[in-house]
Chains A and B, each alone.
Chain A
Amino acid sequence: MKSIFLKLLITTTFCLLGSLTWAADKYCQKSPQSKTYDIHIFGYTYKDMNAKKHMARGLSDLFSGIAVGDRVKVYNHNATGYNLTLDQCAPGCPETSFFENLISTSCSTEVAKRDRKIFNQRFAEAAMGDLNRNDASYNIFKSIQDLNDVYKGERTNNIVAVAISMIPDGINPTDPTAFNKFFVTNVPNLKITLQFPPVCTIGTSPNSEVLKFWREVFDLKNVKFDFKPCNKE
């Protein structure tokens, strides 16, 4: 009796997983117009509420630009590494003519709407879940290195969006002397090898001192990282 129940449970689990996978992939489109978004969230680098809001707005803008069928991968980074918390194509039925719609039965608008809602919720959870945890200290150079390590110098055609404050831990971004000190005590000993794909940023501090600091560091390390905000694409 027990073994029959166990077999039933395993079968049910596999069926459910299969339907989920199908649900995740069923909206993917293989057309050249569809895009893949790699969204990297470094939530722990935001300690200021305004910065968090700024980042949320940026993500929201990015999200609004995601079209039906685009694949979205959310990498949630933490102090020890990262989790791929979402990997799904944006639900929705492709735009068709009235007659095509009558003939085709593969996409139900109602179902797609429901799936989109679930997708939106999942995205919000994946992107913003860790944002309110701001107790741990961090090393901003390690964050950058972690981002680099996801690609390990490989080329990608994905749109890589990075939500990161770029502010070193404990530094007031408006205080140039703090940056000076941080530079003096960290940069000469910095051993970092970076080779990024083209990256756009979300919620990065717009402060000129922050930008100046990173420009100097990336110049020193011969890294191309131009702080292009994702919403200005």
Chain B
Amino acid sequence: MKRVFFSIALVISLGTFAQEKTNNDGQFRELYPKAVAGDANASFSLGKIYLEGTSSAGKDTGKGLSYIQKAASAGNVPAIKYLIDSNERSGYGGALELCQRLQKMGDKYCASKMDGLVEKSIPKTANTSSCKKMGDLYDNGNQGGVVKAEVMNCVLQGLATTVPSEEAMSYLRSQANTDTKAFLRLMSYALKSGTPDWDPLYVEENLPKVGLSFKDTQVKEIFAKNGITFEGCRKMERLRKDTLRQRPSVCRMAAKSGDEEAALYVGESYLGGKDYFPDEPSEASVYIKEVLSSKNPALASDALILLLDLYRKQIKFHDHFALVSKEIKRNSPNSKAALASFSFEANYMQKNHPSMALDDIQSIVDIADVNDVAQSVKSLVGKTIDEIIKDRGRMMRAVERDSLLDYKKRLLTQKDLDEIEAVRQAAMAKTADTKVTAEGNLPKKLEAVAEKKEPTLLERLLK
């Protein structure tokens, strides 16, 4: 029952609404002759009736807008405001011109909208016509951020003379400290070589500060236009003193933007401190690492060799070993270079095994067992295993020790074993001679001790 009442009430209310919706016929009839006769107020009101569909004529957007435009053309302020709002909502670009008209009429309706409208109307590339429009806006007192920035841009591009070019550059620099867009604009001037504003160092230093990245598309576009590439870096004279700071900057920016050849060159230059690059291995590694994963195998290989060399020089065992083991394990095209470099790990282990973690030792031994490792390296690792066991054998679990001993057998050749045995015999003989001199019959006891095998894990547990 309630539902029935509700339905009836709804129908009645909808009916009332429908009546209300079309009850502007009288107003329409009154307005129409006036609108036809050119009355702007009537035109505007009639246009709204058409747009809102509140008369028996129904909704007619075309006619509605036509009447409102007529009213606006005749200077009707409400009509102009209506069109501004409507254009703003629909994204149509006519709102700016209408706002300018309103401003000329002394109306401040657009004061807060102006910047937004100008921003929308700015073409991607400034041209004479757009600059003239901006100049007019500026001269008419619209000196808000967007208009001002655009005017300065026009002046700097030589498309307008609204303000002196020095003032424009000064303004742009001040804006570029905090405004990304301004910075991007400034880049075009600061990277144009041969001009008084050329200052690549400024760009390199400040670009990240305004929230930009060297790899941003817009940044890269500007770089490409202004020769901030490896080609640009290459063309600049390496040893010219008046560009001794700018040239490295150009090369570095090219490298940071993703130019792999530039990155490799910069890394190499930092390694040796050449072409006015300071000798900074840590900086070098940053750039070289960028090229490691290059799709260009030649570049990636060069980068790997450089980096391994750098780590070797810096005796960065962990970095070196991580790189080597990664390349060997994934059997990459660079694995041969990595294997060739593995002697560093072998030598390092020989010299530093007492301070090394057992895990690292085991990883080195694992890799030493790979077929392509040179026998000399294998032998070195195998011999070091003996020393390791001697050094920390009692602290190792039997499984770990057995594993190392097993590797030792695999890594050492018969010749190596003979050499070890000879050394051991020589050492024992020397020790025996010493004991005989001191205690008489002791050599036999020593032999017995020497021949005594290491206790097994079970034996140790029983003790």
Report if A184-B33 is in contact (Cβ < 8 Å); known contacts: A177-B25, A177-B26. no
Q: Is B36 a contact partner of A184 (Cβ separation < 8 A)?
A: no
Query: Which residues does chain B contribute within 8 Å of A176, judged by CB atoms?
Result: 26
- Decide yes or no whether B28 CB sits under 8 A from chain A: yes
Taking chain B's interface residues, is the majority helix, strand, or loop, or is none over half, making it mixed?
helix
B interface residues, Cβ below 8 angstroms from A: 25-26, 28-29, 32-33, 36, 55-57, 63
Number of A-B contacts (CB under 8 A): 34
Query: Which residues does chain B contribute within 8 Å of A181, judged by CB atoms?
Result: 25, 56
Query: Which residues does chain B contribute within 8 Å of A216, judged by CB atoms?
Result: 29, 33
Scan residues 176-211 of chain A and give those whose CB is less than 8 A from a CB of chain B.
176-177, 179-181, 183-185, 187-188
Query: Which residues does chain A contribute within 8 Å of B55, judged by CB atoms?
Result: 184
Report if A220-B33 is in contact (Cβ < 8 Å); known contacts: A180-B28, A184-B28. yes
- Decide yes or no whether A219 CB sits under 8 A from chain B: yes
Q: 13 A-B contacts, Cβ less than 8 Å apart? A: A177-B25, A179-B29, A180-B25, A180-B26, A180-B29, A181-B56, A183-B28, A183-B29, A183-B32, A184-B25, A184-B55, A185-B56, A219-B33
The complex places the Cα of A104 from the Cα of B63 at a distance, in Å, of 73
CB distance from B27 to the nearest CB of A (A): 9
CB distance from B276 to the nearest CB of A (A): 80
A interface residues, Cβ below 8 angstroms from B: 176-177, 179-181, 183-185, 187-188, 216, 219-220
Query: Which residues does chain A contribute within 8 Å of B29, judged by CB atoms?
Result: 179-180, 183-184, 216
CB distance from A223 to the nearest CB of B (A): 13
Query: Which residues does chain B contribute within 8 Å of A185, judged by CB atoms?
Result: 56-57
The complex places the Cα of A188 from the Cα of B26 at a distance, in Å, of 14
CB distance from A62 to the nearest CB of B (A): 33
Query: Which residues does chain B contribute within 8 Å of A188, judged by CB atoms?
Result: 32, 57, 63
Give the nearest-CB partner of A183 in chain B.
Answer: B29
Give the nearest-CB partner of A178 in chain B.
Answer: B25
11 additional contacts, CB 8 Å, given A176-B26, A183-B28?
Answer: A180-B56, A181-B25, A181-B56, A183-B25, A184-B29, A184-B32, A184-B56, A184-B57, A185-B56, A185-B57, A216-B33
Give the nearest-CB partner of A179 in chain B.
Answer: B29
The complex places the Cα of A179 from the Cα of B63 at a distance, in Å, of 22
Q: By CB atoms of chain B within 10 A, which of A181, A184, A185, A216 has the most?
A: A184
Closest 8 CB pairs of A and B: A180-B25, A183-B29, A184-B56, A181-B56, A184-B25, A180-B26, A184-B28, A184-B57
